[in-house]
């Protein structure tokens, strides 16, 4: 019976020990689960924090980054500089034509000091634009056989219409028509005279060639007058249809051996520039100064 009691007691002790172990195991498992949950929550929170902090960090990095600089290739910059240099060169070459046209306006329009700077500025703008058109090959506006004086003259016409009085404009148009006729007649007579000295034309040939050139006249032919600058070495490039029908077979053969050129787009005789007169600064400022002096006089002083 004692043995039986001892066995029962041992069984009870084992059961209590097992229960204690089970409770400890449950507690350990619970602690492990809790730690795992904390770790998972921590991992889940980290991306959210980074996502919020990322824009601020990106802004800070962007602020530290150097400003973006657009670098123009050296070749492109050199090309631009070369174009500018060519434009300036053509401007200088066309200035004689500009000053000649301005002088024509000055001699015939009796300009006021207020009108002069506007007309001069328009002429300078025309020269600059023509130079750019030549450099950039704007063939729609500039042809190789057109005179610079003709282009400047046409560009100035709009400014003259806006600046001159009706009386001044009528005077300009009148003398401009006479000038065109004079240039045409002088060019044709000079050209036919040179052809005669080279081809020994008959009177009838001279008359027919003159009439043909007059009927088919083109304004760019006025540049033929510039050939006198070359000492008689060259002839103008007269269209074959305007000359060859009037020549004999022998004269045609001689004409084929002549050196023919079209004079330059610019060129022409030099005309002294007169910036001071065209700017008219002193003449414009002087009446203003006198008006200011009159306004500054005490009341009644002018009546003494």
pLDDT attached to residue 69: 47
Shared-domain flag, residues 201 and 160: no
Q: How many domains does the chain have?
A: 2
Shared-domain flag, residues 144 and 100: yes
**Closest among 114, 122, 132 to 153, alpha carbons compared:** 122
**Closest among 79, 134, 106 to 265, alpha carbons compared:** 134
Lowest mean pLDDT among 8-22, 24-38, 227-241: 8-22
Residue 248 has pLDDT above 70, yes or no: yes
| Residue that wins the pLDDT comparison between 158 and 59 | 158
Shared-domain flag, residues 131 and 187: no
Q: Is residue 107 part of a domain?
A: yes
Q: At what angle do helices 249-256 and 166-199 cross, to 10 degrees?
A: 110
Shared-domain flag, residues 159 and 217: no
Lowest mean pLDDT among 137-146, 273-282, 286-295: 286-295
Q: Is residue 151 part of a domain?
A: yes
Residues in the chain: 304
The answer to whether 198 touches 258, Cβ cutoff 8 Å, is: yes
Q: Is residue 13 part of a domain?
A: no
DSSP state of 72: P
Residue 13 has pLDDT above 60, yes or no: no
Residue 124 has pLDDT above 50, yes or no: yes
Q: Is residue 48 part of a domain?
A: no
Shared-domain flag, residues 190 and 118: no
pLDDT attached to residue 2: 47
Average pLDDT of the segment spanning 183-207: 96
pLDDT attached to residue 150: 85
Average pLDDT of the segment spanning 71-89: 65
| Residue that wins the pLDDT comparison between 180 and 9 | 180
Could you list the residue range(s) of the whole structural domain that residue 245 is in?
A: 183-264
pLDDT-derived band at 211, boundaries 50, 70, 90 = very high
pLDDT attached to residue 186: 96
pLDDT attached to residue 23: 53
DSSP state of 300: T
The 10s digit of each residue's pLDDT in 130-186 is 888 888 876 555 555 567 788 889 999 999 999 999 999 999 999 999 999 999 999
The answer to whether 181 touches 196, Cβ cutoff 8 Å, is: no
């Amino acid at each position: 019976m004692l043995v039986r009691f001892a066995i029962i007691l041992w069984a009870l002790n084992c059961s209590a020990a097992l229960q204690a172990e089970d409770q400890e195991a449950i507690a350990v498992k619970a602690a492990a689960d809790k730690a795992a949950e904390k770790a998972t929550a921590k991992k889940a929170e980290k991306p959210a924090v980074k996502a919020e902090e990322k824009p601020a960090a990106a802004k800070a990095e962007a602020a530290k980054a150097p400003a973006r600089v657009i670098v123009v290739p050296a070749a492109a910059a050199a090309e631009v500089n070369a174009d500018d240099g060519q434009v300036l060169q053509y401007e200088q070459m066309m200035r004689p034509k500009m000053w000649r046209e301005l002088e024509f306006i000055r001699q015939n329009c009796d300009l006021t000091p207020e009108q002069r700077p506007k007309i001069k500025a328009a002429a300078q703008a025309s020269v600059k634009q023509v130079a750019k058109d030549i450099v950039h090959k704007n063939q729609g506006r500039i042809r190789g056989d057109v005179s610079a004086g003709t282009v400047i003259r046409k560009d100035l016409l709009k400014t003259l219409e806006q600046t001159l009085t009706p009386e001044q404009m009528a005077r300009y148009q009148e003398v401009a028509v006479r000038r065109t006729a004079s240039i045409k007649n002088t060019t044709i007579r000079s050209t036919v005279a040179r052809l005669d000295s080279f081809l020994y034309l008959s009177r009838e040939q001279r008359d027919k060639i003159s009439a043909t050139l007059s009927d088919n006249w083109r304004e760019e032919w006025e540049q033929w007058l510039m050939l006198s600058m070359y000492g008689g070495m060259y002839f103008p490039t007269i269209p074959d249809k305007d000359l060859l029908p009037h020549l004999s077979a022998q004269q045609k053969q001689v004409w084929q051996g002549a050196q023919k050129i079209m004079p330059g787009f610019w060129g022409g005789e030099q005309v002294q520039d007169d910036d001071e007169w065209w700017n008219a600064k002193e003449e414009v400022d002087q009446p203003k100064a006198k008006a200011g002096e009159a306004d500054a006089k005490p009341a009644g002083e002018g009546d003494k």
